[in-house]
Homo-oligomer: A and B are copies of this chain.
């Protein structure tokens, strides 16, 4: 089963958020609400999903490959997840042979009882910690970095579970939003920099946690607030809530790419409407890189809000010059001759009647490898466009992410290999422009990037990583000993 991201081209020419998480405590329909919430977060991970529930006596789990609507299709499956507390996870990638073992929430029987964990993010010293744990006799059942946290809790010498949990988190570095369950409570937390998102809501007396506000909307919950960076929120089975801040209050660095692409446009992140931020990026782009043209064409669907903004600011009409098929899904048989770029055409087809003879401004959210951009420019020209100007609603992506986003190796990123002129030539556009980093920060409501203390994690654009990257350093050191080119390590 190989299900591809419906927003994506088959060559994967987008960054990919790797996970979405959801939890609810205090509702008799905990598993059904979790399934619905995960469904609303499906864009954060399409390959696998799972739910773990607690009925007051036992934990119940169901995990599967595929979409939420496939894995949790039947009422009988929901019925097998009884209880008032449940949490769930959608994920992008599961490495081949491992099958279901890496599908979350992970669950373990610890000395004090069961413990489940759903994780969005990436532990950047997971390999390092795992080696230490295995040397002491720990046996890992998955290749997931998340399991490291469970083993750290299991082997912590502190007396209470909360102390053991904090003790474990002190040892990990990187990005993590977590939703955990024990027989007594649900624990939600965000890493000290708040790199990955996590919000809290209420549905009646029940408390809900989710990666994005859209999941609250869909399950009918009221938004309460975001979990703060470094905060641990504990909710007991009786509904009592307590908040802990064991890591002090460092300056937050939430991921700015959530606004650019990952989050759904109908989510609100950091107090900003994602749709509005994208529309404002379009406005910034129109100001920073204006062009004479006849039609503003979004690359569907993620380029639409920025294209609307660009059209409004520039006065150039907005039109659907590319039509997206709703039926992509799987890899597909290609006739070996026949259509040129049939793989792209299956998903995106030029609206020739609209495009023919016009000067086009194409708006896309980002350029990763550049291969799809090139094909889409070509598709516009094949459909008779006179000129094709490419505008990108994010700065050049020229660094890998180590915080839970699937990025190609650095040397495959177009912006890491070429300057603007070379890129323009590569995609065969008449002109190419990216929004500036300050323009992006303005669109999210800042006056610009504060270089001394950036308000967001923007490492994919700037290379400014807000945490240590121990595993990467270890591999670089090892490669150094072996005389391997470091560039291939990332």
Please name the residue on chain B nearest to A279 by beta carbon. B319
Interfacial chain B residues near A220, Cβ < 8 Å: 338-340, 342, 345
Asked whether A351 lies within 8 Å of B273 as measured between CB atoms, the reply is: yes
* Chain A 121-163 interface residues, beta-carbon cutoff 8 Å to B: 134-141, 150-151, 154-156
On whether the beta carbons of A323 and B266 are closer than 8 Å, the reply is yes
Q: Does A466 contact B (CB under 8 A)?
A: no
Is B141 in contact with A138, judged by CB distance below 8 angstroms?
no
B-facing mask of A199-226, CB < 8 A → 1, else 0? Answer: 0000110000000001001111000000
Of A238-246, A325-333, A418-426, A472-480, which binds chain B?
A325-333
Against B, the Cβ 8 Å flags (1 = close, 0 = not) of A150-183 are 1100111000000000000000000000000000
Whether A109 contacts B139 by the Cβ 8 Å rule is yes
Copies of this chain per assembly = 4
Q: Chain B residue with minimal CB distance to A156?
A: B137
Which of A214, A266, A276, A340: most chain B CB closer than 10 A?
Answer: A266
Central interface residue in A319, A333, A339, by most chain B CB within 10 Å:
A333
Chain B residues, Cβ within 8 Å of A69: 327-330, 332
A340 and B218 alpha carbons, distance in the complex (Å)? 9
In chain B, what residue has the closest Cβ to A266? Answer: B323
Q: Counting CB contacts under 8 A, is A265 at the interface?
A: yes
Task: Tell me whether A43 is interfacial, beta carbon within 8 Å.
Answer: yes
Give the contacting residue for A29; candidates B35, B308, B337; CB below 8 A: B337
Tell me if A319 and B330 are in contact (CB < 8 A): no
Stretch at the interface among A70-78, A441-449, A451-459: A70-78
Q: Does A193 contact B (CB under 8 A)?
A: no
In this assembly, does A7 line the interface, its C-beta being within 8 Å of a C-beta of chain B? yes
Given contacts A218-B346, A339-B218, contact A320 B265 (CB under 8 A): yes
Give the nearest-CB partner of A338 in chain B. B220
Interface of A with B (CB < 8 Å)?
6-7, 27, 29, 32-33, 35-36, 39-40, 42-43, 46, 60, 67-70, 72-75, 78, 97, 108-111, 134-141, 150-151, 154-156, 203-204, 214, 217-220, 264-266, 268, 273, 275-276, 279, 301, 304-305, 308, 312, 317-320, 323, 325-340, 342, 345-346, 349-354
What are 20 inter-chain pairs, A to B, with CB distance below 8 A? Answer: A7-B326, A36-B332, A36-B333, A40-B346, A40-B349, A42-B327, A67-B329, A69-B332, A70-B329, A72-B333, A138-B154, A139-B139, A139-B150, A139-B151, A219-B338, A266-B351, A266-B352, A275-B354, A308-B318, A308-B320
